[in-house]
Structure 1
Amino acid sequence: MMKTAIVILLVVCSIEAKKKSPKVKIINGEEDNSKQDCAMVCSGSTGRTTTVFQDFSDGKNVFVDVDMSECGFTKIPNVVTSVEGTSHHWMVHGASSVYGTTSTGFRVYLNNNDAGLDKSQLDDNLWNIEWVAVGFTC
């Protein structure tokens, strides 16, 4: 009798859990909404020692391509970014500007029109892009 009561309780809990709203709710995005139960948060970093900044334009700008393919998004997610490091990253522009977002990645351009950006300084100060993406996986 005890086993039957436990099984019934587990079934009821399972049914009630399915009725609850999802933990992540996406109001709108770049593409039509999908099933809310497929909404997911995924985050990452390009890494303090693994970020590959590439020169862009006149030596005052760099960009980095961010791979988020492991998230498994099926549509373009909403993405928020920041620059993390040990020094001087507060002076940079473009840290929250995301370009060319797809379901698997995006690009961020950084610049400092006053002083320029020296890639060795970025590496020495462990600059990297940290990001959070919210999107659909089905």
Structure 2
Amino acid sequence: MPTARIAAGQTTAGQGWQAYGANGIYIDVDTTAARFTGTPVYVTSISSTGGSQWALVGPSAVYNVTATKFRVYVQWKDGSALTPATAQQYGWYINWIGYDNP
């Protein structure tokens, strides 16, 4: 019988963000190294090397969850334009913890 597994990680600061329309961005988070065998529960937060993540919505919501990845969408809470260049400028990155109980 498989045992429960807990793992954690983070994306690289400012890297991997993609445009999602004119007002949002997303990042696909690779969790392959965690070696999950089921569909984990992921808990996320956003951090930065340069600030401004306090004005975002969405960093705790995860989408497209599998054993090896998930996606996070973010936008400014005021709905103004946001691009991957902004995420790079501020050095935003996703912290994650995953729990898998197959």
Given the two structures, how large is their TM-score scaled by the length of structure 2?
0.88
Output aligned runs, 1:26-105, within 5 Å: 35=2, 38-49=3-14, 51-57=15-21, 59-85=22-48, 86-105=50-69
1:118-133 correspondence to structure 2 within 5 Å: 118-133=83-98
- Judging by fraction of residues, say which structure has more strand: 2
The separation in 2 between residues aligned to 1:116 and 1:130, in whole angstroms, is 24
- Higher RCO structure, 1 or 2 (CA under 8 Å, sep 6+): 2
Aligned residues: 100
State how far apart, in whole Å, the 2-side matches of 1:55 and 1:114 are: 14
1:110 alignment partner, SS class: strand
- Percent identity between matched residues is 28
**Which has the larger helix fraction?**
1
After superposition, give the CA deviation of every residue in 1:8-40 in whole Å (9 maximum; x if it has no partner). xxxxxxxxxxxxxxxxxxxxxxxxxx64xx112
* 1:100-138 deviation per Cα after TM superposition (whole angstroms, max 9, x unaligned): 1001110001112432213222111110111000114x6
**Residue segments in structure 1 that go unaligned for 5+ positions in a row:** 1-33
TM-score normalized with structure 1 length: 0.67
Q: How far 1:93 moved relative to its partner?
A: 0.7
- Please point out which of 75, 92, 98 is paired with 1:111: 75
